[in-house]
């Protein structure tokens, strides 16, 4: 019989449990509260906060922010048996019922902290039936949450007047500190307001709040809740408080992170609060001085090279500047990068053995299949070393190196470096991409320079707490070091006026860039610890005569380095073991040949850099009177001498001829020699017109077609043909103009050694 009763009792308990589980499933708890999105700095301080979807300031208080002082004060004041009851305090209910029934004492609802949470989660009119529902919900909350979590919910939901809810929002908006940074007096102040949020309004009723705060401090002291000296000090603390605006640092990155993580109430960013504040102030004040020049915006990115974390992010000079479109994010905006990609190109070329720092590159007007680049100052230098070409940001040598490397190889590396616009438009990019003909963002460009600072290793930038990322070796440590060594030189034209004499000039490697039409000014620099990228311009795309990387962007770059990295370790990049030195001919930068008396030391990459011997001069057989030269086939048995002559590229020789630059020109070849010398690779190169191009000429304006070519420096005369009909003879460097007939046209050029070149073009006439 006893066994049967026990079985019935167990069945009853199971049935009751099933009913409770069913009710719990049928009447689920209200959804979690909607919090204000908050973006934190590295140290946990609030950078930026937003209203929640219901337009309230309700910032989530984390468990670690609930200090023992706050916990004790709230529990002592609101529900001293909170840790012991199961959501409802039956003793308090009986006492409250007696007081309410007999009218003795203050009328009360005996609400526990858990019951208050239930009411705050699901506000209802205060009736007896709703009170019963509130009690049921409190029990349900106790099943689902721990005591710490219930207390956390309470502290996140309590009202502080107006649209301020929760301890954290109140602490930040009134005391400008998170809850765990508050004093005892401030903590007690926040503990007493939720019961009277309309009567005790901080900033409006400070005297009443102070009186009530001190009353509770004395009660807490009498109860032995806090040490007497601490209470005495708190009683003396003044209450001069007012409501402040919510934190608004880093608005662009904060907006970006909130959009990226819409369900997170608290987002910890990688930003360093002090650096962010300083970068915003410097950028804002600097752009304000530029406004009279028609320049209204700038963007800045500061990256820690070791961690790849972004420590400062300035999307515009002033987020609130609606006239200047300040809400646009200049860090991610796609703009023309100007010359900022040149260091990466040269690093790739170094890795493939195409160049070395002291190697000479032609810097003369050149036609690359119809593309004729010009240097920024419209001036050519004949021949320059690679390091000068990069330090002086010369365009023509850069295009020549890109032509050697290959555009697909270059754009593929940019794709690996995260250049999204380049990836989308790779098939449309050509040689102009190295001069700004492709789109790039400050974010992409800055990380490319971080890659150079990190020995050529690429990894994505980090905007939150660091986590492992796949890395990719884009260039070798040796190529990265050589590029850095060149970019750190101070003898260069893009050094701002007066900077060389400044004692505050930072030790950095940097590169400037200016886009076509002076619409964008760039300056990106790095040292061992930081990389900083700067863009200056207008979001409207409007250009300004003052916009140049050297004069407008670099001063801000230097200011940022001096302000943010002034205490960086005083060390610099060291050459990697893969690099070595060798002697090279000063005239060519190549391994010395048999006639290279002037030699200099240059870096090179063993097994990679070219071992080609210098041939900047060549031995020539010259007649006794020096009037002509012989080839091996026509040289007499005697009566000639051996001499050394410059072995110039045809385009360099043509440039010297056109500019009247004196050089030792080779005498004409023996007129008695009947041998046609040299293969087709030494035939004239027609530089105008461009092959397979349509030319539209206006008949009434009598527009003409220009014929030019480059030849070996021993060629004196060329012969032009149009549609296989002889046109005229001309000097090798002479510019010839013709008025061609409409339709297909075959242009031919032969030199005085019998070598010939043809191009096909189409001419269309307009009436």
Active-site positions read 78, 339
Give the dihedral sign, CA 575/580/581/587. Answer: negative
Asked whether 522 and 513 are in contact (CB, 8 A), the reply is yes
Residue owning tokens 């043809």: 758
- Assigned token pair, 718: 């060329």
Q: Are strands 382-385 and 46-49 parallel, antiparallel or unpaired?
A: unpaired
Helix (H) or strand (E) holding 706: strand 705-710
Would you list the DSSP string of 114-168?
HHHHHHHHS-----HHHHHHHHHHHHHHHHHS-HHHHHHHHHHH-B-STTEESHH
Q: What CA–CA distance (Å, rounded) separates 601 from 606?
A: 15
Q: On the CB side of 382, how many CA atoms lie within 13 Å of its CA?
A: 12
525 φ, ψ to 5°? -140, 165
Asked whether 518 and 545 are in contact (CB, 8 A), the reply is yes
Burial (Cβ within 10 Å: 0-12, 13-18, ≥19) of residue 565: buried
Coil, strand or helix at 730: strand
State the angle between helix axes of 442-453 and 342-351 in degrees (0 to 180), rounded to the nearest 10: 40
Cis peptide leading into residue 689 (ω within 30°): yes
Burial (Cβ within 10 Å: 0-12, 13-18, ≥19) of residue 467: exposed
Asked whether 722 and 651 are in contact (CB, 8 A), the reply is no
Q: What CA–CA distance (Å, rounded) separates 364 from 362?
A: 6
188 φ, ψ to 5°? -65, -35
Of 662, 665, 654, 714, whose CA–CA distance to 687 is shortest? 654
CA dist 9 → 17, 21, 23, 378, 538 (Å): 12, 18, 21, 100, 80
Q: What CA–CA distance (Å, rounded) separates 434 from 400?
A: 10
Q: Which residues pair with 705 in a beta bridge?
A: 738
Give the dihedral sign, CA 141/142/146/151. Answer: positive
Q: What CA–CA distance (Å, rounded) separates 224 from 217?
A: 11
């Amino acid at each position: 019989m006893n066994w049967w009763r026990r079985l019935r009792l167990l069945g009853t308990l199971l049935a009751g449990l099933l009913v409770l589980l069913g009710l719990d499933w049928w009447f689920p708890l209200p959804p979690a509260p909607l919090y204000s999105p908050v973006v934190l700095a590295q140290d946990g301080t609030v950078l930026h906060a937003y209203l929640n979807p219901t337009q309230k300031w309700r910032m989530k208080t984390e468990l670690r922010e609930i200090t023992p002082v706050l916990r004790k004060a709230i529990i002592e004041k609101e529900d001293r048996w909170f840790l012991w009851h199961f959501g409802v305090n039956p003793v308090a209910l009986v006492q409250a019922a007696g007081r309410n029934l007999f009218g003795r004492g203050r009328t009360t609802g005996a609400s526990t902290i858990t019951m208050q949470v239930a009411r705050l989660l699901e506000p209802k009119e205060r009736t007896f039936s709703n009170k019963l529902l509130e009690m049921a919900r409190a029990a349900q909350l106790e099943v689902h949450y721990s005591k710490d979590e219930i207390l956390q919910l309470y502290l996140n939901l309590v009202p502080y007047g107006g649209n301020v809810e929760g301890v954290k929002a109140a602490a930040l908006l009134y005391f400008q500190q998170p809850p765990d940074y508050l004093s005892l007096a401030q903590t007690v102040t926040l503990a007493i307001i939720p019961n009277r949020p309309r009567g005790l309004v901080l900033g409006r009723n400070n005297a009443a709040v102070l009186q009530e705060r001190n009353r509770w401090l004395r009660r807490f002291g009498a109860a032995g809740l806090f040490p007497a000296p601490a209470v005495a000090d708190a009683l003396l603390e003044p209450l001069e408080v007012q409501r402040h605006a919510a934190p608004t640092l880093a608005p662009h990155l904060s907006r970006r992170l909130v959009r990226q993580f819409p369900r997170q109430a608290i987002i910890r960013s990688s930003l360093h609060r002090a650096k962010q504040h300083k970068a915003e102030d410097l950028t804002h004040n600097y752009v304000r001085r530029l406004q009279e020049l028609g320049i209204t915006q700038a963007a800045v990115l500061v990256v820690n090279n070791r961690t790849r974390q972004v420590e400062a992010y300035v999307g515009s000079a002033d987020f609130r500047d609606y006239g200047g479109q300040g809400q646009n994010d200049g860090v991610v905006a796609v703009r023309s990068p100007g010359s900022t990609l040149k260091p990466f190109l040269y690093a790739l070329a170094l890795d493939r053995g195409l160049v070395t720092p002291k190697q000479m590159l032609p810097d003369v007007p050149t036609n690359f299949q119809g593309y004729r680049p010009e240097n920024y100052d419209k001036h050519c230098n004949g021949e320059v070393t690679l390091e000068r070409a990069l330090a002086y940001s010369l365009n023509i040598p850069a295009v020549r190196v890109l032509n050697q490397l290959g555009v697909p190889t270059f754009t593929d590396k940019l794709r690996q470096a995260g250049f999204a616009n380049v990836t989308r438009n790779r098939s449309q990019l050509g040689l102009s991409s190295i001069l700004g003909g492709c789109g790039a963002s400050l974010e992409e460009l800055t990380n490319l320079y971080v890659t150079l600072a990190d020995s050529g290793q690429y990894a994505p930038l980090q905007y939150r707490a660091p986590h492992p990322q796949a890395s990719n070796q884009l260039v070798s440590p040796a190529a990265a070091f050589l590029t850095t060594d060149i970019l750190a030189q101070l003898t260069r034209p893009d050094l701002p006026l007066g900077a060389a004499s400044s004692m505050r000039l930072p030790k950095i490697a940097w590169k400037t860039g200016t886009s076509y039409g002076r619409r964008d000014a760039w300056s990106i620099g790095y040292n061992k610890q930081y990389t900083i990228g700067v863009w200056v311009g207008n979001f409207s795309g409007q250009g300004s005569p003052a916009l140049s990387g050297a004069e407008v962007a670099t001063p801000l770059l230097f200011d940022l380095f001096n302000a943010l990295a002034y205490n960086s370790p005083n060390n610099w990049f060291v050459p990697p073991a893969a690099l070595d030195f060798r002697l090279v001919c000063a005239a060519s930068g190549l391994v010395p040949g048999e006639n290279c008396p002037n030699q200099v030391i240059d870096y090179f990459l063993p097994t990679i850099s070219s071992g080609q011997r210098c041939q900047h001069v060549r031995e020539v057989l010259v007649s006794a009177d020096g009037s002509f030269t012989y080839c091996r086939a026509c040289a007499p048995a005697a009566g000639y001498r051996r001499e050394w002559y410059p072995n110039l590229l045809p385009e360099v020789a043509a440039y010297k001829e056109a500019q009247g630059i004196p050089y030792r020109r080779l005498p004409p070849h023996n007129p008695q020699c009947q041998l046609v010398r040299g293969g087709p690779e030494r035939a004239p190169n027609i530089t105008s017109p461009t092959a397979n191009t349509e030319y539209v000429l206006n008949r009434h304006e009598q527009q003409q077609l220009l014929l030019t070519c480059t030849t070996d420096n021993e060629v004196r005369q060329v012969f032009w043909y149009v549609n296989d009909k002889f046109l005229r003879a001309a000097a090798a460097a002479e510019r010839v103009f013709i008025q061609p007939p409409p339709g297909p046209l075959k242009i031919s050029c032969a030199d005085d050694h019998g070598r010939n070149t043809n191009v096909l073009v189409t001419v269309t006439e307009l009436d």
